[in-house]
């Protein structure tokens, strides 16, 4: 499970799914620091067929970033 880059708190699955559907990132439920999906995780999610498989492992494979990184 991913951890906040600021306070290192593990995020629960519900918060990870909310982050996945958010365009502007989400605040950490503990420290309040805005977190985004890392560009590495975003690239993996955009690879067509693999993205379907990725949905199953999404909560365990996602990495967080404290910056809004561009996809490429």
Res. 57: pLDDT tops 70: no
Does residue 7 lie in a domain region? no
Does residue 8 lie in a domain region? no
Does residue 23 lie in a domain region? yes
Give pLDDT, residue 50: 59
Does residue 47 lie in a domain region? yes
* Most trustworthy range by pLDDT among 24-28, 37-41, 67-71: 24-28
For residue 39, what are the domain limits? 13-65
Give pLDDT, residue 23: 75
Give pLDDT, residue 47: 60
Residue pLDDT, tens place only, 9-29: 998 888 888 887 777 888 998
Kindly report whether the global pTM for this prediction surpasses the value 0.75.
Answer: no
* Structural domain count of the chain: 1
Picking from 54, 23, 26, the residue whose alpha carbon sits closest to that of residue 40 is 54
Does residue 60 lie in a domain region? yes
What's the rounded Cα separation, in Å, for the pair 65 and 59? Answer: 15
């Amino acid at each position: 499970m991913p951890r906040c880059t600021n306070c290192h708190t593990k995020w629960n699955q519900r918060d990870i799914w909310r982050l996945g559907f958010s365009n502007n990132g989400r605040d950490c439920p503990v420290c309040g620091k805005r977190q985004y999906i890392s560009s590495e995780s975003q690239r993996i999610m955009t690879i067509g067929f693999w993205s379907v498989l990725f949905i199953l492992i999404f909560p365990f494979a996602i990495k967080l970033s404290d910056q809004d990184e561009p996809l490429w």
